[in-house]
Structure 1
Amino acid sequence: MADDILTDRHRRLLSHWRSLIPAGRDIPPRRSFDPVDIPDILSFLVLADIEGQELRFRVVGTEMTEAWGKDYTGQTLSQIMGGEYHDFIRDLFDTCISSRAPVVSHSRFQWDRGRHLDTIRIMVPLASNADPDRVGHVVVGQSFDYSQTGPQSPRVYSLKDGTFAEISRTILT
């Protein structure tokens, strides 16, 4: 299950995100989330802004830059990747946005250096400051295990009613 695959850093991000949710709301506003408040996990974070139909990476942690081989701060998801992997990552973002809930995935990461890695990511939504009923941002915490290859088929989970439930079949169709 998703709880079993989350690392301490993923759990720390989820706990921090939960602590920012105001009474009577389901997700925290963007203004309440400052990555420097969690310096011990800042290096594995990405903060993406939703700009119309596109996602722009506003903050990209140093571990992400190292794993990707480039700093993609300021670029859009479509500028960074294409094809099936883009579609998979976009589906993860879209699920997080539409459900207004955390999404966890465990998958194989195609390293640009010709290697496959194991990767676990958690995505948490943030409300737009101007419109608390609209998700305006997504924070991603992504870890890599360079010693192993991720699963052949991605596993995807969404947080519903306080429990992670597998949604792989809906997101991968």
Structure 2
Amino acid sequence: MTRPTPFSDEPALEAVARYWTHKRQQDGTRRCMPDRGEIDPLELPPAFWPNLMITEPAAGGAWRYRLVGSAHVERYGMDFTGKTTHDIMQGSYRDYMGAIYHATFHDAVPVYSESVFRWDAAGFAMTRRLMLPLSQGETDRPALVLSIQVWPSAMPIQPRSISDLSRSGGFKDGFFLRLDPDSFQPLPDPTGSKP
């Protein structure tokens, strides 16, 4: 990562990107992604643990949350470990999250995203994510997605559940970038659109 990444100002995302890169190169080969068995959140700074998640594909195009850090539980007022995106989300937000997971998993590349929520009539809150593919037993074949998510803006009011935020009017806007796995620089958008 010699040139600044789209998330170079966010230490947590930078640290997890470096960790993922180290793990996929640690056996002397340059694999597309590390294996889940090589990922140990305890090797990352403790301050980042609450912001981690691991998801896997589920039936019907949904994504199941296998690990949900405590920052997510606190932020959304619920522990959604074991639940799917279809269980807890709806509308355009579920479509948006599905597109990010799809890009990470099916393109086997890191994906950076930002989105904005309307917490109440007067306030918005932004979130930033880095999603990284992981294999599980089969080299360079995605099986899971490791992600770290941060919230740079303070919540103006009490937390709202993901289900509530994904209802009409809660999810304001979002974009995502597919990233080169070596440089973490944006790849050309296959749809031709820009954030």
TM-score normalised by L of structure 1 = 0.83
**Equivalent residue for 2:51, pick from 37, 40, 44:** 44
Radius of gyration: which is bigger?
2
Tell whether the 8 Å contact from 2:134 to 2:143 is kept in structure 1 after alignment.
yes
Structure 1 stretches of 4+ with a deviation exceeding 4 A read 168-172
CA spacing shift, 1:94–1:37, aligned 2, 3 Å: same
Counting aligned pairs with the same residue, the percent is: 24
Q: 1:93 to 1:47 in 2, by over 3 A?
A: same
**SS in structure 2 of the partner of residue 40 of structure 1:** helix
Amino acid at match of 1:14: A
Deviation at 1:35, TM superposition (A): 1.8
Find the aligned partners of 1:81 and 1:170 in 2 and give their Cα distance.
27
Deviation at 1:74, TM superposition (A): 1.0
TM-score relative to the length of structure 2: 0.75
Please list every run of 5 or more consecutive structure 1 residues that lacks an aligned counterpart in the other structure: none
Higher strand share: 1
Is 1:155 paired with 2:175? Answer: yes
SS of residue matched to 1:16 = helix
CA distance in 2, matches of 1:5, 1:24: 23
Task: Give unmatched runs, 5+ long, in structure 2.
Answer: 157-171
2:117–2:125: 8 Å Cα contact kept in structure 1?
Answer: yes
CA contact (8 A) 2:13 2:148 kept: yes
State the match for 2:22 in structure 1: 19
Q: What displacement does 1:55 show?
A: 1.6
1:106 to 2:138 alignment: no
Structure 1 window deviating more from structure 2 (85-94 vs 34-43): it is 34-43
**Number of corresponding residues:** 169
Would you say 1:124 and 2:132 are equivalent positions? Answer: yes
